[in-house]
A and B are shown apart, each in its own frame.
Chain A
Amino acid sequence: MNVQPMRIAISGLHRGENPQPGAGIVRSLRRRFPDAFIVGLVYDAMESGIYVEGGPDVVYAMPYPTAGADVYLQRLDEILARTPFDFFLPTLDAEIELLAYLESGFASRGLTTCLPEVESLHRRSKNHLSALAEECDVEVPETEAIYDLSGARRAIGRLGYPCMVKGQYYDARRVVNDIELASAVNKLLGEWGAPAILQRCINGPEFNAMGIGDGEGGIIGLCCIRKTILSDKGKGCGAITIRDEKLERLCQRLISALQWRGPFEIEVMMDEEIGDYSLIEINPRFPAWVDFPSQFGVNFPAALFEMMSGGKTPATLPVCQPGHFYVRHQIEVLGHVDQLAELATSVDFSALPVHPV
């Protein structure tokens, strides 16, 4: 029997200061499926994952999701006409917010995705998180959605300093006075739109859990880590796997309540004041460290692909044993101006051969 290699499109390839998950997903898929044909969908010719060894086979530029569904799907049609693929794995929060509404559009194009239900997506959004946490008996820091600076000033009267200001999709800043509050609110509202989120600061270590929901309340695999090295922006530059039943049960309650389908990342902190986990965020995608457990044999992207291609729940992933750690390691990736020119100036952003002679 002639088995065709998988053809899959993946977005979010940049691994700069604020790394995206796509490049890690490509690496994990290549570990299990070396012959996979991978289409990189990028928003910028400087996304570093375009140029890495073992990266995507071909790259196309995409319009930002804010351009709307019609523009996005039209561009997908152009790409599919040139380079057909069967699976599409969007990896960025802002994309998923739009694409969750377009599942039927993907199906009619013969594309298989694994996106959460729109309702589940909304229930885990930052401004609805408190209600979900209460339903699941999970602690959550006091949180208020704000739509402008005057609203932020009123909210800070209730929450007090220090406080976290968070963008709707990305970015968070710790503020300790009115000047920092104004600066952070203006920046994050301008960059990511309304609402921004004000959240009471919690003191304690940070933990993340990555997994895949089966859409029926179950979890196919779970990897819990404690962040051991934090960047200035709070990104985990180092972490170690842990196994804590209390954290695992917390994840199960949340995913069960959401009936979550597809990848997720749950972010919590150990609130030292109350001695319990406090829920910070639920991201609707794999984290940037997705390739870390693949390196000790627990390959989440490969399991997700099996779920997408088989149309059924795959076997549960092995348990992530405690004691594996990662340290984020930055390197310089080589590119050539010819490649940049191809992506930046081509009228229709034709496919970029990413490994020219």
Chain B
Amino acid sequence: MNTQLADLLLNDRGFAFNPASGETYQLNTTGLVMVRLMQQGLDHEEILMQIREKFDVDDHTARRDLEAFIDETEKLGWKP
């Protein structure tokens, strides 16, 4: 069931609710930051920059985590 990422309702502890499907999710800290940045409309390079700064990780780690997360969101039908 496809959902616009912008429609997901989030709280500060990573609880996410899809108002169109009624499904709920628990995001980890990195996932929550990534969804929020995607909701703000940032592109992948901008998100990577923020992830590197916020979590003090190298580019390879940040890129690997973002790609894995995007794979997951695509499986869930979350559309940017």
- Interface of A with B (CB < 8 Å)? 205, 207, 225-226, 228, 239-244, 270, 275, 322-323
Contacts and interface: CB of A to CB of B under 8 A. Distances in A.
A242 B1 contact: no
B17 interface: yes
Given A270-B1, A322-B19, 15 more contacts: A205-B21, A207-B22, A226-B21, A226-B22, A226-B23, A240-B22, A241-B22, A242-B20, A242-B21, A242-B22, A270-B21, A275-B1, A322-B17, A322-B20, A323-B19
B19 A243 contact: yes
Contacts of B20: 242-244, 322
Interface residues of B, number: 8
Contact of A228 (B1, B9, B22): B22
Contacts of A275: 1
Contacts of B22: 205, 207, 225-226, 228, 239-242, 322
Interface of B: 1, 9, 17, 19-23
B79 to A, nearest CB: 13
A182 B65 CA distance: 54
A228 B23 CA distance: 9
23 contacts: A205-B21, A207-B22, A225-B22, A226-B21, A226-B22, A228-B22, A239-B22, A240-B22, A241-B22, A242-B20, A242-B21, A242-B22, A243-B19, A244-B20, A270-B21, A275-B1, A322-B9, A322-B17, A322-B19, A322-B20, A323-B9, A323-B17, A323-B19
Nearest to A275: B1
B13 to A, nearest CB: 16
Nearest to B18: A242
B51 to A, nearest CB: 29
A243 B21 CA distance: 8
